[in-house]
Amino acid sequence: MPACTYTGAPLRESSTPLHTVGWWLVRHRIAVLVVALASAVALAFAVPQLQVGFRVDGFFRSDDPELQQAMAHYGDGGFEYPDRLLLFGWDEAEPTGAASIQRLARFAAALGKDPVVERVLTLADAKVPGALRSDPERVAASATWRHLLVARGGDAVAGMVVLQPNQRGEDLVPLFVRLRALAAAEGKTLHLCGLPFHTATSQQLVRDDMARFLPIGTAVSAVLLFWLIPHWVLALLALVVVPLTLVSTLGVMALVGVEMTMLTSTLPTLLLCMSVADGVHMVGRFLEERRLDGEPKAAAARTFAAMFVPCLMTSLTTIVGFGTLCTARLVDLRWLGVFAALGMVFAWLYTMAILPAALSFVRWPAGRRPMDPSDLVVRGALCGLRISPRGWAFGSALVLVVAAFGASRVEVEHKLTSDLWPDSEVVQQMRWYEERFVGIVPSEVIVTTKAGFGDAERDQLAQLRQRLEALPGVSRTLSIADLLADGLPPLLLPALARSGLLPTGMLSDDGRTARVMVFRGDFGTTAFRAFAGSIAALATEHPAFTVRLAGMNLVGTEQVLRMTDDLVWSFVGSFGLIFLLVWLQCRSLGLALLGMLSCLLPMLVLLSLMAWLEIALRPLTVIAFCVALGLMIDDAIHLLARWQEERRQGRLAGDAAHTVVVTAGKPVVVTTLLLLVGFATILGSGFRGTATFGFLVVVALLGALFAALGPLPALLRGLAASKDGGRRTLHTADPQS
Instruction: Provide CB contacts within 8 A for 693, sequence distance 6+.
Output: 266, 620, 621, 623, 624, 682
Task: Name the strand (E) or helix (H) holding 481.
Answer: helix 480-485
Instruction: Provide CB contacts within 8 A for 121, sequence distance 6+.
Output: 108, 149, 159, 160, 161, 162
Pick from 580, 582, 572, 706: nearest CA to 641? 582
Pick from 625, 632, 620: nearest CA to 606? 625
pLDDT of residue 483: 87
Tell me, yes or no, whether 66 lies in a domain. Answer: no
Q: Among 40-49, 484-493, 622-631, which range has the highest average pLDDT? A: 40-49
Q: How would you list the strands of the sheet with 546-550, edge to edge?
A: 474-478, 513-520, 441-448, 546-550
Instruction: Provide CB contacts within 8 A for 219, sequence distance 6+.
Output: none
d(Cα 496, Cα 698) in Å, to the nearest integer?
58
Mean confidence (pLDDT) of the chain: 82
pLDDT of residue 255: 92
Residue 502 phi, psi (nearest 5): -80, 135
SS3 367: coil
Residue pair 656/665 in contact by the 8 Å Cβ criterion: no
Same domain, 403 and 287: yes
d(Cα 617, Cα 587) in Å, to the nearest integer?
35
Among 199, 220, 248, the domain-final residue is 199
Residue 685 phi, psi (nearest 5): -65, 145
Tell me, yes or no, whether 352 lies in a domain. Answer: yes
Residue 103 sits in a domain whose CATH number is 3.30.70.60
Domain extent, residue 642, equals: 17-56+229-408+558-724
- Strands 117-121 and 156-163, by their bridges, are antiparallel
pTM of the model: 0.78
Same domain, 41 and 89: no
CA 540, chain centre distance (Å) = 40
CA–CA distances in Å: residue 641 to residues 180, 309, 706: 61, 9, 18
CA–CA distances in Å: residue 107 to residues 146, 156, 161, 194: 21, 15, 11, 19
CB count in 10 Å sphere of residue 207: 16
Instruction: Provide CB contacts within 8 A for 319, sequence distance 6+.
Output: 341, 344, 345
d(Cα 532, Cα 445) in Å, to the nearest integer?
10
Number of domains in the chain: 3
Same domain, 681 and 631: yes
Residue pair 276/225 in contact by the 8 Å Cβ criterion: yes
pLDDT of residue 5: 37
Per-residue pLDDT tens for 147-159? 999 999 999 999 9
Residue 511 sits in a domain whose CATH number is 3.30.70
Task: Name the strand (E) or helix (H) holding 478.
Answer: strand 474-478
- pLDDT cut 70: percent of the chain above it: 89
Tell me, yes or no, whether 386 lies in a domain. Answer: yes
Tell me, yes or no, whether 12 lies in a domain. Answer: no
Same domain, 371 and 256: yes
Tell me, yes or no, whether 535 lies in a domain. Answer: yes
Task: Name the strand (E) or helix (H) holding 378.
Answer: helix 373-384
Per-residue pLDDT tens for 319-363? 887 877 777 777 777 888 899 899 999 999 999 999 999 999 988
Same domain, 399 and 440: no
Concatenating the DSSP letter of every residue in 511-523 gives SSEEEEEEEE---
Same domain, 146 and 105: yes
Q: Averaged over 214-241, what is the pLDDT?
A: 79
SS3 231: coil
Task: Tell me the H-state helices in 186-231.
Answer: 195-228
Tell me, yes or no, whether 302 lies in a domain. Answer: yes
Per-residue pLDDT tens for 446-474? 898 888 888 888 888 889 999 999 999 89
Per-residue pLDDT tens for 357-384? 999 998 877 666 666 778 888 899 899 8
Tell me, yes or no, whether 734 lies in a domain. Answer: no
Residue 507 phi, psi (nearest 5): -135, 140
pLDDT of residue 499: 58
Same domain, 581 and 710: yes
d(Cα 423, Cα 2) in Å, to the nearest integer?
45
Task: Name the strand (E) or helix (H) holding 447.
Answer: strand 441-448
Same domain, 537 and 482: yes
Same domain, 526 and 575: no
Residue pair 645/712 in contact by the 8 Å Cβ criterion: no
Among 532, 550, 568, the domain-final residue is 550
Residue pair 443/90 in contact by the 8 Å Cβ criterion: no
d(Cα 279, Cα 303) in Å, to the nearest integer?
11
Q: What type of residue is 25?
A: L
pLDDT of residue 370: 63
Same domain, 540 and 459: yes
Task: Tell me the H-state helices in 72-167.
Answer: 98-111, 136-141
Tell me, yes or no, whether 209 lies in a domain. Answer: no
More confidently predicted of 502 and 632? 632
Among 500, 534, 550, the domain-final residue is 550
Is pLDDT above 50 for 9? no
Residue 678 sits in a domain whose CATH number is 1.20.1640.10
pLDDT of residue 725: 59
Same domain, 273 and 377: yes
pLDDT of residue 502: 58
Concatenating the DSSP letter of every residue in 681-723 gives GGGG-SBHHHHHHHHHHHHHHHHHHHHHHTHHHHHHHHHHHGG
Residue pair 233/635 in contact by the 8 Å Cβ criterion: no
pLDDT band at 413 (very low <50, low <70, confident <90, very high): confident
pLDDT of residue 729: 47
* Degrees to nearest 5, angle at CA 503 with 501 and 506: 95
Per-residue pLDDT tens for 528-547? 889 989 998 888 887 778 88
The sign one gets for the Cα dihedral 245, 248, 254, 256 is: negative
Same domain, 614 and 689: yes
Per-residue pLDDT tens for 286-306? 988 888 878 899 999 999 998
Pick from 156, 155, 149: nearest CA to 135? 149
Pick from 470, 500, 155, 108: nearest CA to 147? 155
